[in-house]
Structure 1
Amino acid sequence: MSTIIKERVQNKQKIHEFSNKIHEANLDNIEDILEEYFDHNAVWHGPHPINQLDGLENITEQFYKPLLKSFPDLEKNNFTLLSGSFGGGEWVSTSGHFVGTFENDFLTIPATKGAVWIRFGEFHKMENGKIVETRIIIDLLDLMRQAGFKFISALGAEIVNPGPASHDGILLGESNSEESAKTLKLIEDMIYKGLRDDYREKGMNDMGMELYFHDDFMWYGPGGTGTTRGLKGFMDYHQGPFCQGIPDYLGGNHITRYAEGKFCSFVGWPSIYATHTGNGWLGIPATNKKITMRVMDFYRRNDNLIVENWVYIDMVDFLLQLGIDVFDRMKNSKYVFK
C-alpha cells in the first residue's frame, strides 16, 4: 500500500471514528472530542444562517454545542464515506442523517419533542490527521417541514431518504483504482457533456441523460424538491422545473471532486451561478435575480450507469437570495402549507 493510500485510509477511519463518537457526546465532553479531530485553526462552512465559523472554539460554541442542546441523544449515521484528492488536498466526504429527539429549539426552529432525521452531506479537508476545513450542508428546510413548517409544495416524495441500496457505502479500506476512474469519468461526462454542453447546444429535451442514468435510478433531492424515481420522475419533478427556473445555470465549480470504487462525491461553494428568469421551480415566479447555489452530490454507479444520487443544496441560502426568508416566515407563521 502506497504512502498516500495509507494516509487516505487512515483519514477515512478517523472520520468514521469521529462520526461514531457523536452519540457519546454531550455539552460537557464535546470540546475534548472535537479537539481530538479538528485543528485549532480549522475553518467550518455550513448552511445559512450559520455560514462560516473560524477556529475550533467557534465551531464548538456556535454549532456543536447548540446542536447537542437541541438533540441531546444525537447520533450521526453515515451511509456513505469515501475519500480522494483534489487540487493538492486530501478530503473525506460522508452523507447520511443526524438522528435524535428534538428536545429544544434549534436555530429558532421549534422543538417537536419527537424524533427527527436531518439530512446532511459533508466534506472534510485533512492535514496531518486533523480536519482543517469542513463544508457541510444540513437540510434545514426539511427539518422545518418535520417541525410543521412547509413553505414549498414539493413535487417529489418527502421521505427519510435511505442509504445505498447496495449497503456498501462506507469505504474504510483501499478501493480499486480502475473502478474509481470509471466512476469519475461517468460523473464528469454527465456534468460537463450532458448537463453543461448538451444542454446549452440542444436544450433540456436532448441532454442525453439516458447515457448516464439508469431508467429506474433514485434521485434523493433536498427539502422543497423531494425524492424522484427514474429518468421520467427526475425530468418531470426536478430537472425540468430547475432548467425552466434558472435556464442559464452554470455548474461544475467544485472545491473538490473525486471517486472511490463505485461512489463519487463533489462539493461546490458555490457550485452554480445563474439568473432566476423562469417560472416553475419550487413554484416560485421569476424574480430575475442573480443567484448562486451551495451544492453537494453523492453518486453510486452500477455497471456503466448511475443508479443512485443524493443531492444536498443550501435551500435556505438560495431562497433568501430570491427575497424569501424562511426563518422570518417560520417566526411569523406566514405562507405555511398545511
Structure 2
Amino acid sequence: MTIMIHSRSSEFSRDAKRRIWTLIGLGLLLVVSCFSIFIGTHTISPSVTVDAIVAFDHSNSDHLLVQHLRIPRTLLSIVVGGALGVSGVIMQALTRNPLADPGVLGVNAGATVAVVSAIAFLGIYEVAYIMWFGLLGAAIAGASVFVLAGIRKGVNPVRVVLAGAALSVVLLSLTHMITVNSHEMVFEQFRHWSVGSFQGRGYDVVIPTSMLIAVGLLIAFSLSKAFDTVSLGEDVGHALGVNPIKIWCLASIAIVSLAGAATAAAGPISFVGLTAPHIARMLCGPDHKWLMPFSLLIASILTLVADVLGRVIGHPSEISVGIMIALIGGPFFVFLVKRWKISQL
C-alpha cells in the first residue's frame, strides 16, 4: 500500500512539474511573439503597432507592414520551429540515435536541389511557388531513402541513416553543380533561401505551410505510444504487437509533412530538430505523449528567439534565422551536454 501511494504521489509530482513547465513555456512564447511583432528592420512605435493590431487601417503603410509581414513572420517562425522539433523527436525515436535530425531522411537535401532546379530551369523566384517544389523534392528524397535502405527486407535504422547520408551527398553535389553553372541571378535567389529565413514571408506561405504541418502533427501525435515501443528496438516492438514497417512508413509521411514543409517555406534550418528534443527530455522525460508537445514548444521558442535576435543584432539589416540558430544552438547545446547527462533513448 505504501509503495502504491508513493508511486501515485511520484507520478502526480511529475505531471505537476510538466504542467508548470508547459505554462512557463507558453508564457515565454507569448512574450517572444510580442517582441517579434514589435521589433523589425523598420522602426515602428509600440502605439502604432498596437493600433495596427486592434484598429487596422489599410491606408497606413506601418499598419500594412505589421499585419502582412511581421505577424505572418511570427506565426511562420512558431509553426516551422515546432515542426522541426517534432520531426527531430520522431527521427531520434525511429533510428534510436540521439544525434539524428530530420536531415537523416535526406529531406533538406531533396528540398534544396528541387528549389535550385525550379529557380535555374523554370525561372521561378517567388517563395510562395518555390516552396511547393521544395516539398516535392523532400518527399521524393524521403521515399528514395526507403528504397535504397531496402525497407521491404525489414527495418534497419543503420541502413536508413547510411542511405540518407549517401543520398544527401549526391543531391548536394547536384545543387552545387547547378548553382555554379547558372546565371548570377539564380545563385543570388538561391542564396536568400538556402541560409534559412522568414524575411518577406506572408500569409500566402504561412497558410499552406501550416496546413501541411498540421497533417504531420496529427499523424505524429497519433503514433506517440508506438514511438515509445519502437524506440526500444525492433524485437521488442514485434513482441508488443507493433508493426515496425507500418510505423516507419507513417512516421516518414509525418516527417516529410513536417520537416519538408518547414524547409520548403523557410529554407534549411539546422540544429532545432537536434537540440529541442534533448531539452524536452530533460524537462518531461522520454514519454512521447509529453515529449513531442514539449519539443514543439521549445523548438518554436528557440526559432522565434533566433529570428528576433537576428533582427536586433543585424539592425538596420538582419541576420538570417538559420545562421542565428547555429550561433545560439551550438554553444547552448554544448552547455547542456556538460551540465546534464543527456538522456538515453
| Fold equivalence (TM over 0.5) | no
TM tier relative to shorter chain: under 0.3
- Whose helix proportion is higher, 1 or 2? 2
For the pair shown, which has the larger CA radius of gyration, 1 or 2? 2
- Whose strand proportion is higher, 1 or 2? 1
The TM-score with structure 2 as length reference comes to 0.25
The TM-score with structure 1 as length reference comes to 0.26
Higher relative contact order (CA 8 A, sep 6+): 2
